[in-house]
């Protein structure tokens, strides 16, 4: 969840989010741009994260009953190439060509966003088809087509394909590998140091090093879930299952065990040291902590994330405001997954804050703050003084025409 998409996340929030960019991508310090395109969320240079932050904003708005503006949706779809792929950001006035750098992470998050807001489904399906076409022989995906598979990219692509109805376990390569086996190959065996955790990629000698970001991503991926995952039914306390023939869900539970065990020691995760940086006191990693909260809740362990949510409420709101749309969206996703109120999170209305970072939403409604609570009251917050949905319902009933009005405001869709 998660601002974990390497360069995209790193470019906008840099050290704040503690995410390492791919070696091939330079990540400049973000700076405000006076020439931002209309419809885009955020005020910083979108070069490396425009599609990412836009999509994450949509996902967070959707679960809080906010409909993004047509202008914002059009901007996102305008970033797509005819092939179905998205780049991190491009000048949409120029067509994609052989020099355009396609981005699996941007494509996958955009696909998830379009599916969740239930708009431009044909474009979402086109993106999913492109993702299937660039699957690596080991069953996974890298950050760019043809690059070595990594846990984060593979996980977010799984989420996108699952949300478009693709049977992920049937995406087999010539040697029988699937996206799930690609992820499981990066799991550290239980009984070993950091057992249950996942590596981002193998080291030069094939060694696996625990990576918090990759672990949170892999838990969602192995459960076939997307970024905007809510709470799953509670299961027994996570444990680490040994064995060479584990199911994807068992491997996901092993990852949840590692995250829960780590967060027992302190309620937040720490930033990984930056390459070449001088040794300094470890700093909290708000983004990865939010990701871990979502992963724990999605795997049935929301109770294990309570202390982390309380810590984020106390310490994370300033980070979210400074980090912009993606960071604010991450906190909303973590709040929603655990039943916290995103409209009063540490005294901050995160939904209002996110809405203010982009074009005015097409419609909003005030839901119950809990993912399993009663349905929200219908209505829109409009600046034009138009009739609310509540009034329209009343008028329809009084008219007595015999036509029933069924208005159902739903929360975030359950992940498959």
What separation in angstroms does the CA of 346 have from each of 269, 311, 384?
A: 19, 9, 31
Q: Which residues are 363's β-sheet partners?
A: 67
d(CA 13, CA 4): 11
pLDDT tens track of the chain, all 416 residues?
443 344 433 433 333 333 333 333 333 334 445 578 899 999 999 999 999 999 999 999 999 999 999 999 999 999 999 999 999 999 999 999 999 999 999 999 999 999 999 999 999 999 999 999 999 999 999 999 999 999 999 999 999 999 999 999 999 999 999 999 999 999 999 999 999 999 999 999 999 999 999 999 999 999 999 999 877 777 788 899 999 899 999 999 999 999 999 999 999 999 877 666 666 788 999 999 999 999 999 999 999 999 999 999 999 999 999 999 999 999 999 999 999 999 999 999 999 999 999 999 999 887 655 444 333 333 333 333 333 334 333 434 334 433 333 333 333 333 33
Q: Which residues are 67's β-sheet partners?
A: 363
- Which pLDDT score, from 0 to 100, does residue 237 have? 86
For residue 195, which of 143, 241, 228, 136 has the smallest C-alpha distance? 241
Q: How many residues does the chain have?
A: 416
d(CA 217, CA 214): 5
- Which pLDDT score, from 0 to 100, does residue 367 have? 66
For residue 225, which of 215, 233, 217 has the smallest C-alpha distance? 217
pTM above 0.85, yes or no: no
pLDDT tens figures, 31-48: 445 578 899 999 999 999
pLDDT tens figures, 78-120: 999 999 999 999 999 999 999 999 999 999 999 999 999 999 9
Please classify residue 18 by burial: count the beta carbons closer than 10 Å to its beta carbon, then call 0-12 exposed, 13-18 middle and 19+ buried.
Answer: buried
d(CA 31, CA 41): 14
- Which pLDDT score, from 0 to 100, does residue 152 have? 98
- Which pLDDT score, from 0 to 100, does residue 368 have? 53
d(CA 1, CA 14): 16
The CB density around residue 397, as the number of other CB atoms within 10 Å, is: 11
Residue with tokens 């007595």: 400
HSE, side-chain direction, 13 A CA sphere, residue 161: 30
Please classify residue 32 by burial: count the beta carbons closer than 10 Å to its beta carbon, then call 0-12 exposed, 13-18 middle and 19+ buried.
Answer: exposed
Query: Using N-to-C axis directions, what is the helix angle for 248-265 and 212-222, rounded to 10°?
Result: 140
- Which pLDDT score, from 0 to 100, does residue 373 have? 38
Q: Which residues are 284's β-sheet partners?
A: 270
Rg (CA), the chain: 21
Q: How far is CA 326 from the centre of its chain?
A: 9
What contacts 240, CB < 8 A, 6 or more positions away? 190, 191, 195, 196, 254, 257, 258
Task: Tell me whether strands 284-285 and 269-270 are parallel, antiparallel or unpaired.
Answer: antiparallel
d(CA 190, CA 188): 7
What contacts 157, CB < 8 A, 6 or more positions away? 104, 108, 131, 141, 179
């Amino acid at each position: 969840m998660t601002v974990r998409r390497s360069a995209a996340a790193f470019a906008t929030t840099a050290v704040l989010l503690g995410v390492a960019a791919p070696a091939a991508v330079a990540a400049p310090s973000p700076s405000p741009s006076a020439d931002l395109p209309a419809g885009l969320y955020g005020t910083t240079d979108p070069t490396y994260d425009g599609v990412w932050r836009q999509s994450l904003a949509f996902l967070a708005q959707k679960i809080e009953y906010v409909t993004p503006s047509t202008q914002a949706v059009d901007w996102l779809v305008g970033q797509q190439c005819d092939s179905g792929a998205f780049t991190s950001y491009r000048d949409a006035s120029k067509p994609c060509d052989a020099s355009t750098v396609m981005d699996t992470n941007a494509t996958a998050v955009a696909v998830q966003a379009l599916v969740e807001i239930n708009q431009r489904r044909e474009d979402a399906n086109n993106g999913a088809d492109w993702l299937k076409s660039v699957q690596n022989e080991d069953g996974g995906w890298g950050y760019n087509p043809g690059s070595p598979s990594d846990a984060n990219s593979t996980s977010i692509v799984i989420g996108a394909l699952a949300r478009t109805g693709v049977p992920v376990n049937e995406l087999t390569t010539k040697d029988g590998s699937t996206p799930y086996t690609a992820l499981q190959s990066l799991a550290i065996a239980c009984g070993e140091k950091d057992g249950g955790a996942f590596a981002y990629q193998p080291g030069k000698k094939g060694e696996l090093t625990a990576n918090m970001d990759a672990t949170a991503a892999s838990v969602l991926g192995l459960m076939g879930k997307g970024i905007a995952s809510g709470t799953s039914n509670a299961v027994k306390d996570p444990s680490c299952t040994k064995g060479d023939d584990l199911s994807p869900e068992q491997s996901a539970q092993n990852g949840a065990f590692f995250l829960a065990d780590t967060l027992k020691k302190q309620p937040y995760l720490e930033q990984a040291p930056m390459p070449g940086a001088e040794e300094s006191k470890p700093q909290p990693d708000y983004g990865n902590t939010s990701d871990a909260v979502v992963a724990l809740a999605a795997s049935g362990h929301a109770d294990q994330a309570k202390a982390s949510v309380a810590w984020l409420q106390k310490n994370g709101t300033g980070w979210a405001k400074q980090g912009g749309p993606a960071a604010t969206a991450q906190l909303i996703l973590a709040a929603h997954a655990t039943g916290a109120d995103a409209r009063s999170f540490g005294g901050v209305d995160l939904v209002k804050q996110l809405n203010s970072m982009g074009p005015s939403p097409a419609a909003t409604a005030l839901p119950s703050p809990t993912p399993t609570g009663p349905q929200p009251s219908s209505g829109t917050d409009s600046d034009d003084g138009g009739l609310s949905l509540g009034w329209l319902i009343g008028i329809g009933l009084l008219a007595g025409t015999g036509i029933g009005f069924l208005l159902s405001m739903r929360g975030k869709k359950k992940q498959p």
